[in-house]
Each structure stands twice: as structure tokens, then as C-alpha cells.
């Protein structure tokens, strides 16, 4: 399974009022493992940056003035995402901006290029109802270091989200039963070796049986009840 973990930074909060994408970062996972493929661009929004947004990501209009406009990176973005499951934290926000950028270019919605969209914020709210489920909170909950994250950045946040997503969806792969090496005792062809037919039978000594009965008696006395296994006694020993 191929997955693309995606994040954006924007000029503000609402594409309907003219806000635009100014950074997009994606990392690729195949079989739940990160590959070396990434997609990352700073984008010239051709408009001012809201003060509140600048405080979050630190990207100024001056810095972005020589960066490509969205139309110049759209084909590469489509090629990177096409057919993959796209994983986003608070997907409604990023998809709203992406679909708006595609609409401005008279293209079909961005989400149509993904085989599936997974929103880790919605999943986290189901897993941890009533708790903080921001990316920072999830990093702390899953012991994922984000100390190098002083400001939001699309590529860095996508990389952190990839780790969070794997931790959230780990399921049974962490259970110790999966650590059992089922090849132990197998021959070179992988077939299990037959158990030896002559097994040594060890029985309890009379002294062990007597001590066992004594302990059972003390338990019965302390509980003031007949023990459920008292009928078995030592008849099989």
C-alpha cells in the first residue's frame, strides 16, 4: 500500500476570503515504511500573509516572492499523490485549500486524485475522546520527539505525522506474541521437527505430595470454604 502524508501552510484560515497555500510538504510511505521520496515546495501566494499565520509558520511575503506559484508545481504534486492514500491531520482544512487552488486552475478537486483520504485528527478524537489531539499532543502521547520543531513547517510536520500515524495504527504488531520465532525447532526446509517419542516422566515424591496437601489445608482453613479442587486430592499423583 502506498500512502502520502501531507501538510500545508497557508496565508490565513479561509480560502473563501482569498487565503492561499504558501507551503506544501509530503512524504511517501510504502508498506507502512517511509521511503526516500518527498515532495516539498514553498509557494508564492501573490498576496500578504496574515499576522496570526506568520506567527505560526514564520513565512513572510518577502521570503516567498521568488518562489513558484501553485500553477507551476501542480503537475508534480498530482504525479506524487496520484492513486495513493493521503493521510492528513485535520484534513478538512488542507483539502479546502487544495481544492480551492485546483478550482482556481479550473481543475477537478485535489481529493479526486487520492484513492482514499485519512484524517488522523478524526481518528485521534475517537481513540482519545476529550483529550488534546493536536499534532504536538499526539507526539507527546506517543513519545515522538518534536523538540526541533519551533515553528510549523509543512515537510517537518508531514514527517512527524507519519510517525504519529504509524503509532496510532500499530495494532497487534507490538504484542509480544509477534516476537516468537516460529522457525525454532524447524529443519532446513522449514518443516517442524518431530517431537522425541521417549519422554522422561517425572512424578512428585511422597514428601512433595504431603507438603502440597498441607498447603491446601491451610488455604481451606483461611478461606473457611472447601477448595474446588479438593476432590481431586492426590489420587493421580
Per-position pLDDT tens, the chain of length 237: 899 999 999 999 999 999 999 999 999 999 999 999 999 999 999 999 999 999 999 999 999 999 999 999 999 999 999 999 999 999 999 999 999 999 999 999 999 999 999 999 999 999 999 999 999 999 999 999 887 665 678 999 999 999 999 999 986 444 433 333 444 445 555 555 565 566 667 778 888 788 878 777 777 776 666 666 555 544 444
| Three-point CA angle 21, 67, 23, nearest 5° | 30
Give yes or no: 40 in active site.
no
CA distance 16 to 166: 33
What are the φ and ψ backbone dihedral angles of 85, each rounded to 5 degrees?
-75, 130
* H runs (alpha helix) in the chain: 51-57, 61-64, 74-81, 91-104, 120-127, 135-141, 154-168, 206-223
- DSSP letter string, 43-86: ---SS---HHHHHHH---HHHHTTSPPGGGTHHHHHHHHTTSEE
CA distance 3 to 26: 10
CA distance 94 to 11: 12
Tell me, what's the pLDDT at 173?
45
Residue of 40, 57, 89, 152 marked active site: 152
Contacts of 27 (CB under 8 A, 6+ apart): 4, 5, 34, 37, 38, 155, 158, 159, 162
Identify which of 146, 147, 155 has the alpha carbon closest to the alpha carbon of residue 28. Answer: 155
Bridge pairing between strands 21-30 and 2-10? antiparallel
Judge contact between 219 and 227, C-beta under 8 A: yes
Contacts of 57 (CB under 8 A, 6+ apart): 9, 22, 23, 151, 152, 153
Tell me, what's the pLDDT at 237?
44
Tell me, what's the pLDDT at 82?
98
Judge contact between 20 and 11, C-beta under 8 A: yes
| Residue 183 burial class via C-beta count within 10 angstroms: exposed 0-12, middle 13-18, buried 19 and up | exposed
> Full-prediction pTM beyond 0.95?
no
Amino acid at each position: 500500500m502506498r500512502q502520502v502524508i501531507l501538510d500545508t501552510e497557508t496565508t490565513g484560515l479561509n480560502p473563501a476570503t482569498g487565503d492561499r497555500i504558501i507551503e506544501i510538504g509530503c512524504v511517501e510511505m510504502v508498506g507502512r515504511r517511509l521511503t526516500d521520496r518527498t515532495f516539498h515546495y514553498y509557494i508564492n501566494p501573490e498576496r500578504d500573509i496574515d499576522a496570526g499565520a506568520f506567527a505560526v509558520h514564520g513565512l513572510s511575503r518577502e521570503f516567498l516572492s521568488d518562489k513558484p506559484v501553485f500553477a507551476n508545481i501542480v503537475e508534480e504534486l498530482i504525479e506524487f499523490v496520484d492513486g495513493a492514500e493521503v493521510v492528513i491531520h485535520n484534513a478538512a482544512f488542507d483539502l479546502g485549500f487544495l481544492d480551492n487552488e485546483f478550482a482556481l486552475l479550473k481543475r477537478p478537486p485535489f481529493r479526486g486524485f487520492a484513492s482514499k483520504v485519512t484524517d488522523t485528527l478524526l481518528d485521534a478524537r475517537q481513540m482519545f475522546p476529550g483529550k488534546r489531539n493536536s499534532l504536538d499532543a499526539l507526539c507527546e502521547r506517543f513519545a515522538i520527539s518534536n523538540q526541533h520543531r519551533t515553528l510549523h513547517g509543512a515537510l517537518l510536520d508531514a514527517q512527524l505525522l507519519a510517525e504519529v500515524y504509524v503509532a496510532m495504527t500499530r495494532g497487534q504488531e507490538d504484542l509480544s506474541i509477534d516476537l516468537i520465532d516460529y522457525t525454532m525447532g524447524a529443519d532446513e526446509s522449514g518443516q517442524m521437527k518431530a517431537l522425541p517419542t521417549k519422554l522422561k516422566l517425572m512424578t512428585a515424591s511422597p514428601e512433595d505430595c504431603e507438603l502440597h496437601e498441607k498447603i491446601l489445608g491451610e488455604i481451606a482453613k483461611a478461606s473457611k470454604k472447601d477448595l474446588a479442587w479438593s476432590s481431586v486430592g492426590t489420587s493421580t499423583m
